[in-house]
Amino acid sequence: MAIDPQRIEFGNDDIDTDALPAAVPAGGPKPATDLQPGKGLDVGTANLLSAVRRKDGKVIVKRERNMFLEVPANVQRNRAMLTRLSVPYVSHRDRLFVLGNSSFDLANMFGSEVRRPMMDGFLSPREQDAIPMLRFIVERLVGPRTVENEPVYFSVPAPSIDRENDTIYHQGVIESLLRKLGYEPHPINEGHAVVYAELAEKDFTGIGVSCGGGMFNVCVAYRTIPAVTFSVSRGGDWIDEHVAKVMGMSRTRACDLKESEGVNLAEPRNREEEAIVLYYRNLIEYVLRNLAHRFSLAQDVPSFHEPVEIVVAGGTSLVGGFVEVFAQELKKVEFPLKIAGVRRANDALTSVVRGCLIAAALEQQ
């Protein structure tokens, strides 16, 4: 049956967000028989998300923080403790690692720092355990394939304008990882995925901004075709790093503070929140200024006859007052396009992975 992307619904009632199981059952996971072929995978610096559609139309989204924590001391004792607490972990080279959300919770509890497979939107060159840890989390998220060479559309960052990044290596590693799991991988730009997920009613024309932990990805699209794409190597981690420095706290603590309920960029309540607002504004202004500059330099850009909408998505956009501050900073920039408005994605945290899933579904037509 043909799938119309404008009819794919992702309301909150259609999404299940599940935590990862503590361990894979003996003999390996069994492929689900009630799933439609084609999956989406958001490979973010801070979060990893997978999406799949069941045959009854319901979409299942799973999320894990893209991080891990090595557990020291007695291996057997810690293994028993982690199993008893249902904490996701893996044993790698005779060492124990706690994965995902649980690693963040433990690190925050003990005032330590988690380790990250990715940095600034790409595989971290400083982390020698990056690839195996990323593989463990991705394998749990996507699960076994439902058909031979099942397509998985996974997000990739656009080339950065402010840092030299090796997109070829990063993309190649993710493709190799997915192929080893029996999937057929297809890369899609993060900002472009936001366009797929959020701008169907606008004929897939507008500006998608993926506000991630490692970077902000921007895509200006005209009827699904990307006209301008780029990224900046600043994101939620950049905010955490600077807030941690000026406030004298760990980055994990700064991240937890930024994500706390009640934080609003329009109404900071203390010095810590004032620092968060300062760096958020600086980051948004930096992205908009570069977007205006990149668009003015682009060649063969189609004519946009109507004002276009800007849709922001990603975990870094979830803080209160983000859209309002974005709109305020937009007014300060001489923009080459008429903007109809700024809004947050319907489900900002899952927008990229939903766009990846739409791209995978279209391939099945």
Pairing of strands 47-54, 59-65: antiparallel
pLDDT in tens, 136-190: 999 999 999 999 999 999 999 998 888 888 789 999 999 999 999 999 999 999 9
What pLDDT does residue 320 have? 95
The average confidence (pLDDT) of the chain is: 87
Task: Quick: pLDDT tens for 9-38.
Answer: 333 333 333 333 333 333 445 566 689 999
| pLDDT at residue 16, as a whole number | 36
Return the pLDDT at 64.
93
Nearest residue to 154 (alpha-carbon basis) of 40, 314, 53, 315: 40
d(CA 301, CA 217): 19
By CB neighbour count within 10 A (0-12 exposed, 13-18 middle, 19+ buried), where does 81 fall?
middle
Q: pLDDT tens digits, residue range 345-363?
A: 999 999 999 999 999 998 7
Percent of the residues in the chain that have a pLDDT greater than 70, as a whole number: 89
Tokens 């990149």 locate to 294
At residue 7 the predicted structure's pLDDT band, cuts being 50, 70 and 90, is very low
Give the C-alpha separation, 98 to 118, whole Å.
Answer: 16
Domain spanning 5-66+116-363 has what CATH number?
A: 3.30.420.40
305 vs 26: which has the higher pLDDT:
305
